[in-house]
Amino acid sequence: MRGLYALFLGFMCLMSCQDIPPVEKPDNFINQKTMENILYESVLISSARGYNIAQLKLLGIQPETYIYDKFDIDSLTYAKNLAYYTADVDAYKSLNAKVLERVKAELKVNDSIERVQKKEQDSLRTLKAREVQAKFKQNDSAKFKEIPRRLITDTFSRKKIRVKEDFSESD
């Protein structure tokens, strides 16, 4: 009985081994530079979709069809070309590396722009705070010239003792 199982298992292994046909070049072939642009735009759209899809809809961008409309392709052409490029692992890896470098470069530019804008906003806030503080000092300076006396409680006797604080520079 064990021999029968082993024979059956061996037969199934042989039948499962098959030749995988190579992916043929599609009729509507997209060159590598255009495919890089498509993948780059796909990364941007998927990131934007995850970040704020309401903003995309407000701008009138439909993430599902944006790539197809921009590059004037259909989903079948995209799928066939993507399958063709992914069949060659080394070429697809270099294509993705180029896309990743473009994304990193774009992030670096956007981060530097954001840093400059934040610095500008912070300086405007500081300037506004200084203006408000100066205005406050001018308007209400008379109220704060006299410092009120404080009450200090003696912890041992629980008696309230008035302490007069003299802040004048007569010494």
pLDDT tens digit string along 63-110?
778 889 899 999 999 999 999 999 988 989 999 999 999 999 988 887
Arithmetic mean of pLDDT, 140-149 = 53
pLDDT at residue 135, rounded to an integer: 74
Residue 39 pLDDT greater than 90, yes or no: yes
Residue 114 pLDDT greater than 50, yes or no: yes
Per DSSP, which regions of the chain are E strands? 150-153, 160-163
CA angle centred on 99, ends 74 and 110, rounded to 5° = 110
pLDDT class for 61, splitting at 50, 70, 90?
Answer: confident
Arithmetic mean of pLDDT, 118-137 = 75
State pTM to two decimals: 0.57
Residue 154 pLDDT greater than 90, yes or no: no
**Residue entry with tokens 């298992």:** 9
